[in-house]
Amino acid sequence: ARKCILSGLWKNELGSNMTISAVNTDGGFTGLYHTAVTATDKHIRVSPLKGSQKPTNQRKQLTFGFTVSWTFSNSMTVFVGQCFMDDKGKETLKTMWLLREEVSSPGDDWKATRVGTNIFTRIK
């Protein structure tokens, strides 16, 4: 594909994987996220994701964002990033994320958000 298409199966360097459904006409998409890691002592469960991307007809290397609402803990992650295509047509999603945990009081709000990066490549 000469243009990045987000739908399909992706994995990141942590070993997490995600499936993105078909992207609808306004750029919206949904999917499922299976994280390989957690900072809780909970059992990991597949969690829903919802996001949007810039329409592909405008850009070859599109920007996107999505939110994962974790089903196994009171926390949320937002990912934002861009799809890059190499000259062989291989797509890479370079992302940054914010992970918000639920804290018990406003006084703990300062320590409630983690930040990081993830790179996703397609699982053939």
Cβ closest to ligand BNI, residue 40 vs residue 121: 40
Residues 79/47, Cβ–Cβ less than 8 Å: no
Interatomic CA distance for residues 41 and 9, integer angstroms: 27
CB of 25 to ligand BNI, least distance (A): 28
CB of 104 to ligand BNI, least distance (A): 10
Cβ closest to ligand BNI, residue 59 vs residue 101: 101
Task: Please report, for residues 26, 40, 53, 71, 108, the alpha-carbon distance to residue 105 in angstroms, rounded to integers and kept in the order given.
Answer: 38, 18, 34, 22, 5
- Give the position of tokens 């390989």: 36
Cβ closest to ligand BNI, residue 29 vs residue 79: 79
Where do contacts with ligand BNI occur on this chain (CB under 6 A)?
Answer: 12, 14, 16, 35, 37-40, 70, 73, 75, 77, 97, 99, 101, 116, 118
Interatomic CA distance for residues 73 and 70, integer angstroms: 6
CB of 67 to ligand BNI, least distance (A): 11
Using Cβ positions, the residue closest to ligand BNI within the complex turns out to be: 16
CB of 15 to ligand BNI, least distance (A): 8
- What backbone phi and psi angles, to 5 degrees, belong to 110? -60, -25
DSSP label at 109?
G
Cβ closest to ligand BNI, residue 35 vs residue 53: 35
